[in-house]
Structure 1
């Protein structure tokens, strides 16, 4: 266990309020065999100064600078420098919920040598902070199963998130399969996780809500999607779906399409909602995405199951209208 090293790659953009506390939940872990790579993405505040100060105080912290290019480019630049056996991808405004997390994960990986280890998370807002950090999903549902069965169990339990920050990934596995983040705005995690699902042969699960996702007014998710983000999301979906025709393993194909069904459904809602600001792009994206409408039949994810019923009754375009209205209500409920 002591030989396992972790690289934690953090894109940093105007994160002066949160950065120090985020990094401290890493540096204060009981497991010390780590490196923290802070990739400053052209910040305009004091983030770079704070990052450099932390690097001066702790030799495990490294600072990389780049012109503003987004989180995907920052993570890929961090990957090029990482030396750890396993890689984690925290965001600069979130934190780990337990200081023993990396130590316990190292113990699991010492046994499983998994390509990817997954863990649970909590959402933190100004109004609500959770205090129960035990996951209600058991390791035996993943570790003791084939990769396809483990992924199926996670999808059906709504535990397979798109977010990169709920995963610990073997660096050699990434290098051997040339896996990087698609360099797009905001939706890179969807494509990255699709690659993990496609290539991974061995999986593991950590039975803790190890990651706290902090939702605040400056979060990316606190804004309606722009035209560019919707276009980039379409590119990610299209690229991920292009490999399906070459899948010969039916079980793997079912798992892969069941994973893709939820981000596809969400994108349909965003694309329709975009019509309020860019009707032409909205119409074109919705037309393009119709090619993959069969994804709505893959309802392992609980949130897709209800939409499948609408799709079977009303068809594609009316279902898109329903999803657009639902997305608009979600934004209004959040005050966006």
Structure 2
């Protein structure tokens, strides 16, 4: 039986310390029919030369270079260059077990999506489950902090669905652009979605990563650090019809609002109009959020505190983190 080609895309930026381990973990896959696309996003270290050396040793590796434009641009370039039936994404500071592609492919249906759990900072918790979702249920799972969430690297996508519907990562959004991508993709799926409890993807999460760095006191405010709320707002037009999906989205949107208020507070940047409107949203929907089955307990505490005072929420968040 002919094996379908899988395109594996790795965006690379200043990853000289991790890229070789990442690439070698892909090359050791038990599923052999894949192409590996390394997209160097204007690295200033030795990443590009390391990628080129790796490509010289294995014909399945292709290396692309672009001026620094961000991870979304690098992933989009990979999408354009990919020749596979399916596509997945791996971050250059992570690595995967040798059954990563096998796990994702074993439950993939044409036109659908397959996902797995993650091993986070080597805290592995494989679970013996395989959940089957409708596209509507899958959108809820992406939005829910206890679901498969919006990570692009624990999922296998159908490249034809992406190309036919011109689905790309939004280059202007740097936080939760992956959630927007997944919600948009699921709008155009027409078959079952599968989510496995296995954890073949090793995700390295740092407290000072891109998401949390926006909360650093007195750091210069980058307007893109406020883009989480734009990403989740952008999801609204791609939601499928069930009322339950909209409820899950509203909860996720309110979390994004709180994070955006926290960012403004941390920079003492109460942007005229926007700050007041976001605070109004928190206070208006706080009770519904607290009573919702969606959202982590920590997020609910943050929403409650923000409704009282975003400055108080920031102070307590820093004490806890």
With normalisation by structure 1, the TM-score equals 0.80
Map residues 250-269 of structure 1 onto 2, 5 A cutoff. 251=242, 253-259=243-249, 261-262=251-252, 264-269=254-259
Alignment correspondent of 1:184: 172
Backbone CA RMSD of aligned residues: 3.2
Map residues 75-224 of structure 1 onto 2, 5 A cutoff. 75-96=75-96, 98-109=97-108, 112-113=109-110, 115-124=112-121, 129-132=122-125, 134-135=126-127, 138-139=129-130, 141-142=131-132, 145-152=133-140, 158-187=146-175, 188-202=177-191, 203-216=193-206, 219-221=209-211, 223-224=213-214
Alignment correspondent of 1:237: 232
CA distances 1:95-131 after superposition (whole Å, capped 9, x unpaired): 11x212212332322xx3351111101210xxxx324
> Do 2:14 and 2:46's aligned partners in 1 also have CA atoms closer than 8 Å?
yes
Structure 1 residues 289, 4: CA separation in 2 closer, same or farther (over 3 Å shift)? Answer: farther
CA distance in 1, matches of 2:279, 2:59: 48
Structure 1 residues 265, 76: CA separation in 2 closer, same or farther (over 3 Å shift)? Answer: same
Give the Å deviation of 1:206.
2.6
Structure 1 residues 29, 286: CA separation in 2 closer, same or farther (over 3 Å shift)? Answer: farther
Give the Å deviation of 1:195.
0.9
CA distances 1:249-279 after superposition (whole Å, capped 9, x unpaired): 2x2x422541462254144234234223142
CA distance in 2, matches of 1:117, 1:92: 21
Give the Å deviation of 1:41.
0.7
CA distance in 2, matches of 1:199, 1:289: 34
CA distances 1:1-34 after superposition (whole Å, capped 9, x unpaired): 6422211111111111111101111111111111
> Do 2:39 and 2:66's aligned partners in 1 also have CA atoms closer than 8 Å?
yes
Counterpart check, 1:47 vs 2:64 = no
Q: Unaligned 5+ residue runs, structure 1?
A: none
> Do 1:31 and 1:103's aligned partners in 2 also have CA atoms closer than 8 Å?
yes
Give the Å deviation of 1:310.
6.4
> Do 1:271 and 1:286's aligned partners in 2 also have CA atoms closer than 8 Å?
no
Q: Unaligned 5+ residue runs, structure 2?
A: 216-220
3-state SS in 2 of match to 1:164? coil
Counterpart check, 1:307 vs 2:300 = yes
With normalisation by structure 2, the TM-score equals 0.83
3-state SS in 1 of match to 2:186? helix
CA distances 1:225-248 after superposition (whole Å, capped 9, x unpaired): 54323332233233223456xx6x
Structure 1 residues 256, 46: CA separation in 2 closer, same or farther (over 3 Å shift)? Answer: farther
CA distance in 1, matches of 2:155, 2:66: 25
3-state SS in 2 of match to 1:280? coil
Structure 1 residues 332, 220: CA separation in 2 closer, same or farther (over 3 Å shift)? Answer: farther
> Do 2:143 and 2:249's aligned partners in 1 also have CA atoms closer than 8 Å?
yes
3-state SS in 1 of match to 2:270? helix
CA distances 1:172-213 after superposition (whole Å, capped 9, x unpaired): 111122211111242211211221333333211233112111
Counterpart check, 1:61 vs 2:61 = yes
Count residues in correspondence: 311
CA distance in 2, matches of 1:227, 1:85: 37
> Do 2:229 and 2:256's aligned partners in 1 also have CA atoms closer than 8 Å?
no
Alignment correspondent of 2:218: none
